[in-house]
Chain A
Amino acid sequence: MTDPSDTSLGDTPPEGTHDQDYNFAYLDEQTKRMIRRALLKGLAIPGYQVPFASREMPMPYGWGTGGVQVTSACLVPDDCIKVIDQGADDTTNAVSIRKFFERTAGVRTTEKTGEASLIQTRHRIPETPLEEGQILVYQVPIPEPLRFLEPRETETRKMHALEEYGLMHVKLYEDISSHGHISTAYAYPVSVEERYVMDPSPIPKFDNPKMHQCPAVQLFGAGREQRIYALPPYTDVVSLDFEDHPFTRLRNDGVCGLCGADDTYLDEVIMDDEGTRMFVCSDTDYCATRIEEAAE
């Protein structure tokens, strides 16, 4: 993998191959500067939600405008990007976002996790472990982990300021007492460096442990809610739990019907009217790579 932080471009950038009707990576420079400043503060205060003046993008709010703005502010012409939705490179929204950056930034694209210098994702973290120098950009719908407990921004902001997360613990514990389990299966809250409680975006809780001490830079963009937050590499990210009810990952204990993996997150596919099921890896690149390797 090339080191994306190698700034060998220097003073004479090559002739861009992006659509010349738009600025490089679509956004205007002032907007990019504003997002870049927010990203730096986000990295300096891991897990804290930095307000930013999100712009309207040529795709709807809720479809990744936050992630797209973050990616747009981070891209360099040398980047090779991968876009996934539900773990798959070929879902329509992933295709649409990938095309957007091909067109507006002229960057190379890939489906291989290992080849990508920047990965934009919705709802999954790839199964292939990320490496140093890579950037993972999450699309975030509701960045505030406390929002479902307290709808008011003025209140939740105070709670973060005072590190007052009792309400969250009470909610999780009530789940345990009524269901025997914490009834949050995705967007499962995490604590960052023992300070900020953070929403990991709606990834399945199976993916949560991948955030902890991850060698890649993790950036989170919530366009509609106007928030950016970040995790530098090697940051402590711990899923909230209790001594008597430790956090557990959750996956169907089946194996992938295509590649045979027994440790990946699986999609359940209904095969016929009888309700026959098949389980396949949600990470399409990981699955395809395993099949290729087995064939060799």
Chain B
Amino acid sequence: MYVAVKGGEKAIDNAHRWLGEMRRGDRRVPQLETAQISEQMTLAVSRVMAEGSLYDAELAALAIKQARGDLIEAIFLIRAYRTTLPRFGYTSPIETARMRCRRRVSATFKDVPGGQILGPTFDYTHRLLDFKLLAESEDEQAEEAIPQDSADVPHVLGLLDRDGLIQKEHRTDEEPVDITREPLEMPASRAARLQVLARGDEGFILGLGYSTQRGYARNHAFVGELRIGLVDVEMEIPELGFAISLGVIEVTECETVNQFIGSKTEPPQFTRGYGLVLGQQERKSIAVALVDRALRWKELGEDFLGAAAQDEEFVLYHADNIQATGFVEHIKLPHYVDFQSELELVRMIRKDAEAAREKADD
């Protein structure tokens, strides 16, 4: 006799135990410490912090360890943890012009005030496997090159701004929406778009950014400036009447300069795209800036060319990898009730069709 599949609870427990064992791997190999991840897998940690939208390297490292290195799973762990945290308020906007830059490059000018800082980059490394890393030898120590003072490092695009060659960004005192506290509404504000992009899936944003370079909403872009470094986070405390420092975070900021031939409403000038992400996320910040620029077609009076990167609903509703992975993977859950319904429908339609054919044959 048929017995429905029972014992779901036991099956789940067993699966979880097995998962724990797989995570640990061969016990003759020392267990990975989270400090090793946060110190030596910093770019993975950056990605988990950025897309998890929680700046905490230790928790990100823990999540990466627990997720067996599956970064989307790690991001998910961080997101789920993040939502349970009480919210005390909003910080003041960070001042990226006062960033202690670890890296700062401009593709539009040979040199810029404050200087170009190459910083810790993979650029110009030859991508050859370094077999020395197989052995457990210590690397040579490089000199830390972060300027310790927080003197202003003006943005490169400010130079163009002074000459009126780049589109003016309108300053507003409007409170930006918080996409983690309010449902996304279409059409979305630029603040909402930039937030979605900042925590959007790196691969998705990268692909969209790439598509704008290949003719889908083509908008030739230069990296006006890319900077990575530390900024202070401050919060106004109304009771105190001044701002207190909450700490220091690392961010990556990219501003692109884009050609713009002018429209009915705007004179010929350069326009910009903007990307700001938590941690060291160079590739992501550039891609965000490209997509941001593509999404601005309406405000700049450009045409909608039907490109994916211009399509706000398409971009914003599909950028979140936690939403995407959940829904894509959920089709492995049982759907037999719906399937049964379709089965009955197909049988019925076939029966009708057969009956009609027989009748025609008669």
Contacts and interface: CB of A to CB of B under 8 A. Distances in A.
Interface of A: 22-23, 26, 28, 30-31, 51-58, 60-63, 65, 85-88, 90-96, 99, 123-124, 141, 151-154, 157, 179-181, 183, 185-187, 202-206, 224, 226, 250-252, 257-258, 265-269, 271, 278, 280, 282, 284
Contacts of A30: 87
Contacts of A267: 336-337, 340
B342 A94 contact: no
Interface of B: 1-2, 4-9, 11-12, 76, 79-80, 82-84, 86-87, 180-187, 313, 317, 322-323, 325-330, 333-338, 340-345, 348-349, 352-353
Contacts of B183: 51-54, 226
Given A95-B9, A181-B349, A284-B4, A205 B341 contact: yes
B12 A60 contact: no
A69 B4 CA distance: 29
B340 A204 contact: yes
Top 7 A-B residue pairs of the complex, sorted by shortest distance between their CB atoms: A61-B326, A62-B330, A60-B326, A185-B341, A51-B183, A204-B341, A95-B8
Contact of A252 (B2, B184, B340): B340
A267 B333 CA distance: 16
Contacts of B12: 92, 95-96
Contacts of A183: 345, 349
B86 A28 contact: yes
Contacts of A95: 8-9, 12
Q: Is the interface of B mostly helix, strand, loop or mixed?
A: helix
B16 to A, nearest CB: 10
A56 B338 CA distance: 27
A224 B326 contact: yes
B338 A186 contact: yes
A268 B348 contact: no
A53 B182 contact: yes
A212 to B, nearest CB: 19
Contacts of B337: 86-87, 123-124, 186, 203-204, 265, 267, 282
Given A60-B329, A61-B326, A252-B344, A154 B2 contact: no
A196 B190 CA distance: 31
